[in-house]
Chains A and B, each alone.
Chain A
Amino acid sequence: MLLRLSLQSLANRRSTALLTILALAISIALFLGVERVRTGARASFANTIAGTDLIVGARSGSVPLLLYSVFRIGNATNNITWKSYRDIADRPEVAWTVPISLGDSHRGYRVMGTTDAYFEHYRFRGNASLTFAGGERFDDLFDTVLGADVAADLGYKVGDPIVVAHGLGAVGFTKHEDMPFRVSGILAKTGTPVDRTVHVSLKAIEAIHVDWQSGARTPGRSTGADAVRAMDLTPKSITAVLVGVTSKLKTFRLQRHINEYPEEPLLAVLPGVALQELWSLIGVAESALAGVSGMVVLTALIGMVAAILSSLSERRREMAILRAVGAGPSIVGCLMILEAGTLALAGAFTGTFLFLAGLAIAGPIVDQAYGLYLPFSLPSTRELLILGGFVCGGILSGLVPAIGAYRMSLADGMTVRQ
């Protein structure tokens, strides 16, 4: 009966109550959203590369190596000679290798030279391999495979011609116009830097540099495409290697071997460790985001307390009646806590609903646009704990008006001085 009455009392002040619930709901939806984006971003990030046991490059740091080899950010300080690569690839612990060669660009997108093994062994998001939205792997020397974003942004279709520029700028720089390429395939969206990459074969990278020396075209020399085809296009150096081992147990042995490779300073890193290291750098922003949304929740709770407190004076009569029929001041106080708890609970439910609705609508869009995969699922244990904590916080903040009501009803008794 008392519960019903307190709900009726709340319904009697429904406009304030609804606004309070709305504020609470939006704050909790925001908080849950940020949490989901946070975990989603972290997972997406960690899922950028999978299935690879070691990344090998010229000796620098693990984070720079990860940045240029996987995220296509920045440049390699040095290359690996083809001989070193062969040595690594021939080691007994090595199951497969994917050599990659970076340094060219196409209209702002990185061009990456690699081999068939790349499509074979590159994994992302758990254990997903690259799939083709159209076309197929590069077959010819002048074939390219485009990432989903490249194809979508530049409007390429399978079969289109494409010109690769030397260097990394979007425009300017000299173009390798004498070596026209053809789009042989377009990859499906992955949500990783692969989407923004133009893939060609390692030989193609060599081919477009045939007439170039020290980064500039040799004057007066121009080798035709057919002549290039006839040349030995084994690369002299590559940028990095993705390595898979035959057994996980051998990873560390191989890593040590590579790091101590006598003929050239090399660096082998475990992708997971390097990703962790990188995440710890950019994780600060993530914490700041969580902090801000936490403050929003706190603000909403304070707003709720303010709303209940401001209703107290107009509810003195209500409290006097309750006192007259025998309710103790603690019961009057409890009603305030009950009210705060009800509001918080309603806010939590509405907020969760808003959050799930938002996720259902925005999730696929975010995945499409930013490659951030936000799975639509019911609240996780962690999110339920957050919700529970929020409701507890609501009940606790109900203590403030509860104490006010307690004092007031003690002082007023049955008589209300208005």
Chain B
Amino acid sequence: MTEPFTPSAPPTVLLEHVAFQWPGSAFRFGVDRFRIEKAERVLLLGPSGGGKSTLLGLISGISQPQKGRIELLGTDLAKLSSAQRDRFRAEHLGVIFQMFNLLPYASAQDNVRLGLSFAPNRARRVRKEETPEEAAARLLTALGLPKNIQTGQPASLLSSGQQQRVAAARALIGDPELVIADEPTSALDGESQQAFLDLIFKQLDRSGSSLLMVSHDERLADWFDRVVRLTDIQRHEETPDAAAS
């Protein structure tokens, strides 16, 4: 189900010879080569504590590598100021955490719209078709959250499954080019896990966004275009051809 990549489009994510070390920590993290194409869905497998979060931090531009080069949509993150990186992340990335994704006191609706707060272009893109409220409501409904709990009550009252859907809607609103998900299904049981991924993928089909999902659960592999083991990209040169099945 891999879509044909347009040769002219720059890769959504490109890491080359990246070396990173947390200040004051002995933990070293290195990736020689890692690439995600447009609309590609990549599952990154690895044990917890293996540097997955570090990799996500690097890709999202929150952490800066000591060495190497990270490009998002053809933009070299190192060439941006930290404020520009924050803005870039807001405009082009959607992030779903493992758990505690939401501002507990804000409504589901507000949590979703928070995704547009720092991204004027993304907000403008939404407004071309509908108001942010409508977009949030549409996404939440599409992800299976009943209308009556979308507003008027704080997100902390939602079940953990419902909270993850709200988080997904926040990551998806305004169709960012890349969605990053850090073990988003670990708080869900098997059945709702599948339903959840189903819903996300349906939205991704619509928007044509890329997805990088981190997990330790190998059973998810079938859903993705490509599966990458963290240990592999950390050790070897890694190319899409070598890993593509």
Contacts and interface: CB of A to CB of B under 8 A. Distances in A.
Given A321-B101, A413-B57, A414-B60, A326 B106 contact: no
Interface in A282-329: 317-318, 320-329
Interface in B55-96: 56-57, 60, 62-63, 82-83, 86-87, 89-91, 93, 95
A414 B95 contact: yes
Interface stretch (B39-47, B107-115, B141-149, B192-200): B107-115
A8 interface: yes
A152 B154 CA distance: 62
B105 A1 contact: no
List 10 tightest A-B contacts by C-beta distance, closest first. Answer: A326-B90, A326-B118, A12-B105, A413-B62, A324-B95, A328-B86, A415-B53, A8-B105, A413-B57, A317-B100
Nearest to A327: B118
Interface residues of A, number: 26
Interface size class on chain B is 20 to 34
B119 interface: yes
Interface of B: 53, 56-57, 60, 62-63, 82-83, 86-87, 89-91, 93, 95, 97, 100-106, 110, 113-115, 117-119, 154, 170
A325 B105 contact: no
A382 B49 CA distance: 60
Given A325-B170, A414-B97, A1 B82 contact: no
Q: Which among A9, A327, A330, A414 has the greatest number of chain B C-beta atoms within 10 A? A: A414
Contacts of A318: 103
Nearest to B22: A411
Given A2-B117, A414-B60, A326 B101 contact: no
Given A413-B57, A413-B63, A414-B57, A321 B102 contact: yes
B207 to A, nearest CB: 17
Contacts of A12: 104-105, 154
Nearest to B54: A415
A326 B62 contact: no
Nearest to B87: A326
Contacts of B86: 323, 326-328
Given A5-B114, A12-B104, A323 B90 contact: no
Nearest to A2: B117
Interface in A1-38: 1-2, 4-5, 8-9, 11-12
A219 B53 CA distance: 110
B139 to A, nearest CB: 15
11 contacts: A5-B106, A321-B102, A323-B86, A324-B97, A325-B90, A325-B118, A326-B117, A327-B90, A328-B82, A330-B83, A415-B57
A414 B56 contact: yes
Nearest to A411: B23
Contact of B83 (A4, A5, A328): A328
Nearest to A321: B103
Nearest to A413: B62
A345 B95 CA distance: 35
A130 B106 CA distance: 65
Given A8-B110, A327-B90, A414-B60, 9 more contacts: A5-B114, A8-B103, A324-B97, A325-B95, A326-B89, A326-B91, A413-B63, A414-B95, A414-B97
A414 B105 CA distance: 19
A326 B83 CA distance: 9
B57 A325 contact: no
Contacts of A416: 100
A362 to B, nearest CB: 39
A410 to B, nearest CB: 9
Q: Which among A318, A326, A413 has the greatest number of chain B C-beta atoms within 10 A? A: A326
Contact of A8 (B100, B106, B118): B106
Contacts of B60: 324, 413-414
Q: Which among A318, A331, A413 has the greatest number of chain B C-beta atoms within 10 A? A: A413
B118 A1 contact: no
Contact of B110 (A1, A11, A331): A1
A8 B114 CA distance: 13
B100 A326 contact: no
Contacts of A329: 82
Nearest to A414: B62
A9 B103 contact: yes
Contacts of B101: 321
A9 B105 CA distance: 6
A5 B62 contact: no
A414 B154 CA distance: 22
Contacts of A1: 110, 113-114, 117
A414 B54 CA distance: 10
Contacts of B118: 325-327, 331
B152 to A, nearest CB: 13
